[in-house]
Amino acid sequence: MRDWETGSGEDGRAYLGGYLRSSMLSVPQRLSGLAQLIEHIAEGCAELGEHVARCAEQGTHAAGGNINSSGDRVCELDRVADELLVERLAASGSCAGVVSEERALPEVLPAAAAPYLVAMDPLDGSSNLGCSIPVGTIFSVRARGEGDPADPESYLTPGTAQVAAGYVIYGAPLELVVTTGSDVHVFFLDARRRWRLRRDHVVVPPQGKIYSVNEANVSRWEPELRQWLESCKEAGYTQRYVGSMVADVHRTLLKGGVFLYPADRSAPEGKLRLLYEAAPMAMLFEAAGGFASDGARRLLEVEAASIHQRTPVVLGGRVEVMGVERALRSSGSWHVVAATRRGRLPCIFEVGGRRVDGHLELSPGGRQHRFSSS
């Protein structure tokens, strides 16, 4: 064990390794390698932070010609982030396989019988590189169980199955925000590149004063959701939005209010990804006493039908998240006909006051559904 893995620094702030082992993880979690896994992700992100800084200094952030599995234009740093973090996950020996935004299929790691599977967005918000807006890495950890790490189905359990989730924000300083379910811990990277505890017991206030959304999309929203936004303005809310999920979510987690990326007429499934953006953030918000919804349901209970599935996202305080759900419920757009089997049923649904032909897809057992327009 390295010296900085135990104890605290001279200012009494605990180091990540020691804190994981002494306070944050239960004995079975420590024994099963969750501490090693989180530390390796954190070390990888510390290294990635240097690439992000170098890239900003040298102005080498421009997007290249490649398109990733999500249809986004990939810049060199997206590729570096993905490779570096996959390497660190492999070195942890605790991770059997990884789903990455940058890869169409799961990557099987050398320890294919290891206890955990990871889903990650290695560099979220990379279209903001080059203008000093913080970008981030988002990760979600699930127990592998008997799942085959090569099989996408093994990663499709609902967010409630996550055993840890977090993100790193490449600001000044770098911060790691992580939960294993019952508390949210914030670490910062000190000048000697060691992760130190900044705070725990993060609590999302039940009601805040800030809404964070891309308001350019408002004309494509449900009228009821537009009305909800107007009521926020009348109630004295202010808006903050930089278009980098980790930055917008970090502020919402710490200061309260609401972050949302709802479905709209041109994107009936929203924009953000369920497995490696929405579900880990939902776990953090619930662990901090906040709420997380897809506009109709608890986000953590939504089952993915595919590894790169998109979902609408609403994260924040109880009052705001319930306000959005109430608005969407009254719009009726999420009203679903009863169905009890897995399959793809033709249906008509309503988005932004417009009727759209599409399909309703049911997961095994018919407990979850998702729409796709035809």
CB atoms within 10 A of CB 238: 10
Give the integer Cα–Cα distance in Å for 128 and 346.
39
**Segment contacting ligand AHG by CB under 6 A, of 82-90, 121-129, 334-342, 361-369:** 121-129
Nearest approach, Cβ of 247 to ligand AHG (angstroms)?
A: 8
Q: How far apart are CA 264 and CA 222, in angstroms?
A: 7
Q: Residue 312: CB partners within 8 Å, gap ≥ 6? A: 260, 261, 262, 263, 269, 270, 272, 294, 295
| Minimum CB–partner distance for residue 135 and ligand AHG (Å) | 8
Compare residues 114 and 204 and give the one whose CB is closer to ligand AHG: 204
Least spacing, CB of residue 344 vs ligand AHG, in Å: 28
CB of 89 to ligand AHG, least distance (A): 20
According to CB under 6 A, which residues from 173 to 212 bind ligand AHG? none
- Kindly state the tokens that stand for 63: 């997007």
Residue 102 within binding range of ligand AHG, rule CB under 6 A: no
Which of 5, 72, 183, 200 is in the footprint of ligand AHG by CB under 6 A? 72
Q: Which is nearer to ligand AHG, 243 or 364 (CB)?
A: 243
Contacts of 83 (CB under 8 A, 6+ apart): none
Nearest approach, Cβ of 292 to ligand AHG (angstroms)? 15
Task: Determine the 3-state secondary structure of 123 from DSSP.
Answer: strand
CB proximity list for 297: less than 8 A, separation 6 or greater: none
| Residues 126-145: x where in contact with ligand AHG by CB under 6 A, - otherwise, as a string | xxx-----------------
Asked if 214 is part of the footprint of ligand AHG (rule: CB under 6 A), the reply reads yes
- The answer to whether 122 contacts ligand AHG (rule: CB under 6 A) is no
Q: Nearest distance from residue 272's CB to ligand AHG, in Å?
A: 6
- H-helix segments, 149-294: 223-234, 245-255, 279-287
In this chain, which of 43, 107, 124, 325 binds ligand AHG, going by CB under 6 A? 124
For ligand AHG, the closer of residues 72 and 190 by Cβ is 72
Residue with smaller CB distance to ligand AHG, 1 or 216: 216
Residue closer to ligand AHG, measured from CB, 118 or 245: 245
Residue 311 in the binding site for ligand AHG (CB under 6 A): no
Q: Which is nearer to ligand AHG, 43 or 102 (CB)?
A: 102
**All residues at 6 or more sequence positions from 122 whose CB lies less than 8 Å from its CB, including other chains:** 48, 78, 81, 82, 84, 85, 100, 101, 102, 137
- Give the chain's end-to-end CA distance (angstroms, integer): 56
Q: How many residues bind ligand AHG (CB under 6 A)?
A: 12
Does position 76 bind ligand AHG by CB under 6 A?
no
Q: Could you tell me which of 99, 191, 108 has the C-alpha nearest to residue 148?
A: 108
Q: Are 358 and 350 in contact (CB under 8 A)?
A: no
Cβ contacts of 324 within 8 Å, gap of 6 or more: 225, 228, 258, 260, 262, 293, 295, 314
Q: Give the shortest CB-41-to-ligand AHG separation in angstroms.
A: 19
If one asks whether residue 68 binds ligand AHG (CB under 6 A), the answer comes out as: no
Sites for ligand AHG among residues 232-261 (CB under 6 A): 243-245, 261
Does the protein bind ligand AHG through residue 69 (CB under 6 A)? no
Encoded tokens for 89? 């996950």
Residues that bind ligand AHG (CB under 6 A): 72, 124-128, 214, 243-245, 261, 271
